[in-house]
Structure 1
């Protein structure tokens, strides 16, 4: 028994001790009931040696029961020794009461079930059968003695009761052993399930692919952080239906199609995770991203919940936007190397054409010749500018990211730009910039801002404050330089291709200016983007108007000394 008890886990061993506590509590109750029974009808039990023996036996039994409770509570050691001691005391006192009450006819033999059942539950079968055999032999011996002293014959009832005790012990012991084994198995399975759940949570939280658990009607029950990020729901509760969110309708439709035809297990969808009306105006940064598009590979799988009465499915989300961007970058890199080599070869013939055009200008003075030569010269200059841009892209210029005083830099640059382009002083509105230092190469930042100002001059109305430059601080305490004009703005369709090389909406542009500006920003650990931000102006219905502007987000800033 000791080896058996030590082979169990801590939970099962605790169950044995709790069962012994219950046995002790029951013993106290039985002793109190016997005392109450004796006090109500003291003459009901014909004692052999007087009423005081019965009372003393019951009081002693009650004191022993209380002592056993205290010992078991404060001494959780030597389980088998405590159990055998308690059972031996039970059998001795019950036997004393049994003899004193007149044997089998007194009805006190039923009390033997209490200690023998406890022995069958908490001890090995051999010990339990040994105890039951002692009780059966004792009862038969008491019947023989009763018959020998001239009493009535009670051999048959005593034998039947003894046999019944042996049968009860065997049945209870087998049932207890089965329950203990099941409890041990349940505890082991519970530990395994707990470990598996912990591993599942760890894996799901660190997976780059999104995982969403949905019901039969498309209701979302759970999702990992990657899924929340892909769906634009980071920090929000996922307890909703796929069809209830406009941005997730493509996924909901693909799920319904798969639900109807299980062969359609994979689909490619395009979603705009920041278009839900309830989420657009939470923050300016959130609203500015509402034109972003995510390309997802969606795979559906059904969970085996047969017999559980519920239906669950798992949606695996893989963001293929990064793969597409990587392919695009490889394509652009190959194209860049090709165009750079071509540019080197074009520069010399282009210089020769430009020089020949200059010489012809001195000899040909007819108006038609002058006009044709001017066309040649303008196109030579345009091709030369394109070659310079391509060569600059091919050079891996290392930036000098020393602290730069942004306020002084912008003031000097705007003044120079107004003088060079002959602009009125009130066209460019440079708002007071904070006195902060940013990390950016001055030459690179100059080229980026000049590019943005040239675009603004091209599309602005040339009215007062038609071009605005101002610096703000975002929620992450990073400095942002905004360049905004009052022109028609950029449509979302154009915005999707705005920073692609050689993409332009102007017949005079090369399509490399904004691409080069963004590359220079990335080279300085900054970010250039075209964003839609909410301003103070409002529509007729009270909602705020959004306006587009170029935003340069600097890598870091420190207060100016």
Structure 2
């Protein structure tokens, strides 16, 4: 992962590097001034020019060599550099014939550099210092009774105005540059923090993650990927060399393979990233998913067992108590009542056991292609024949061409539970229960069971699929729970829909063409 937090950024830290480049520029200028003096100066002034330039060159070397040796504040160092430049160029301007030699324009470069390197109003100090130096040089030359120096005082004034114009522009540019640099550093620090967070999240994922380049080379991998593959994948190793099985699964995009030294069973999912051609490979540990599912099943089984024990205890107590009374009771009428109590509670226990056994078949689904409307019609005919269902109670309609892939026994149990629930709460009038077979979106087929009863109260809607939750004292509370479990075992969904009146249940299953 990334290292500790970076040091707080200070503007002077970046400007030290700029000052170093400026010192190199000074050294080059000093070397160039030696040759300029040899070419353009009179023989009488060349000796003095040489001594001044030699001193300026020596100062340039010293300033560059000891640039970071001093502990003085950055502003003081900049002031020293700029002052030496102005003084040296002023002396050379005096020896070179005043402002006509072009040295005042080199001094403008010095003022601009001071404005870009310094802070705040220091740039106007540099402009003032340069103006005073130029005026002093021109004044000294005027004292020598040089008529041209007296006449050029106006031109020198414009040069001084130029110093302040350059200073103003340099200050504006420096302010903008510092603001942009601070913003860039701030965004860079935020980006580094985000990268560390992303790296930590990826490292702690339960799934393995590989990042492949366009050429199939491993560019990044997290710890989970290393565990699944048996060892840390070598960054820069082609995926087909790392694992041929994994490479084939990456090409297919979605597959289950066994990889690594331990032979881990993984599901491979890939995600292509735009035009760069990079690929993110997700490795889902199927063994871990199976263990977690098993733990969830065991926890659910524990709750279910506890609920069954509690639910069975009541009818068993009633049967036991009724049996004791039956042995003592001599009246025939009371004997019949006690016998009915025993029979009703026995049927309740039997229904509960049957529901639990049906739940045990959840994972043993044998799907087949079933015409849903024809199946529902056959089911209703059996209910009329064996369960005493009133044929006029249920209206069946839908598309006879819709078919689903489903376990026949599971589908029958789901429809039996939904119809029994609707019959229990419907008004009993003809057509009070409607069963519809409809086509849904994305090749889905819907089986809807709607009744005209009071419906499910809002406070109970979130609990209707919980085991042993029922508003009917004669029910076990397992019907809807088992129906949903059987639906999920067949890759279908059972849900309670919103309705203005009555209960509206919908089974969504994958259609078959």
Q: TM-score range by the shorter chain?
A: 0.3 to 0.5
Q: TM-score, normalised by structure 2?
A: 0.47
